[in-house]
Amino acid sequence: MEGRRRYRKRGERVVAAVQVNLDTKGLAYRKWGAEQRCQPGDWIVDNEGDVYTVNREVFARTYRRVSPGTYIKITPVWAEVAVRAGSVPTKEGTSSYEAGDYLVFNNEDGTDGYCIDAAKFEAMYELDERRE
């Protein structure tokens, strides 16, 4: 999609996270304007007070442990500014966004998406034109 660019998480931005290693059927919670689901093995992430869950496979592929309970996102994302309000399906549920928010994708092909408020995104990510 035109306007989508590659970004990397700023190096100093770590998250606190714990894996849901419990005998449970999972849990449901409301966030981003819809019901979200957390499955056994998924991660509960505290990103500077913004608490949400991340699918276990996505977390394993995109985060690296810094110290016990502390992780950093190591993979780039591709993002674009939303021109109108809408929603995006995620692995946990559906997330609503407003015009001006960022639509963010873990994969360059525009899959594994989510949305972030513009101010939060710009504080957490920086443009990355490098190719690995």
Q: Are 77 and 7 in contact (CB under 8 A)?
A: yes
Specify the pLDDT at position 6.
Answer: 95
Q: Give me the chain's average pLDDT, please.
A: 92
pLDDT tops 70 at residue 1? no
Q: What is the mean pLDDT of residues 101-125?
A: 93
Half-sphere exposure of 39 (CA within 13 A, CB side): 8
Percentage of residues of the chain with pLDDT beyond 90 = 86
Rounded Cα distance, 23 and 75, in Å: 30
Checking if the pLDDT of 130 tops 90, the result is: no
pLDDT tens-digit readout, 23-67: 999 999 999 889 999 999 999 999 989 999 999 999 999 999 999
Nearest-angstrom CA–CA distance, 61 and 99: 29
Provide the sign of the torsion angle of the four alpha carbons 20, 25, 31, 32, taken in this order: positive
CA distance 87 to 132: 31
pLDDT band of residue 2 (cuts 50, 70, 90) is low
**Would you tell me how many other CB atoms lie within 10 Å of the CB of residue 125?**
21
**CA–CA separation, 37 vs 16, rounded Å?**
19
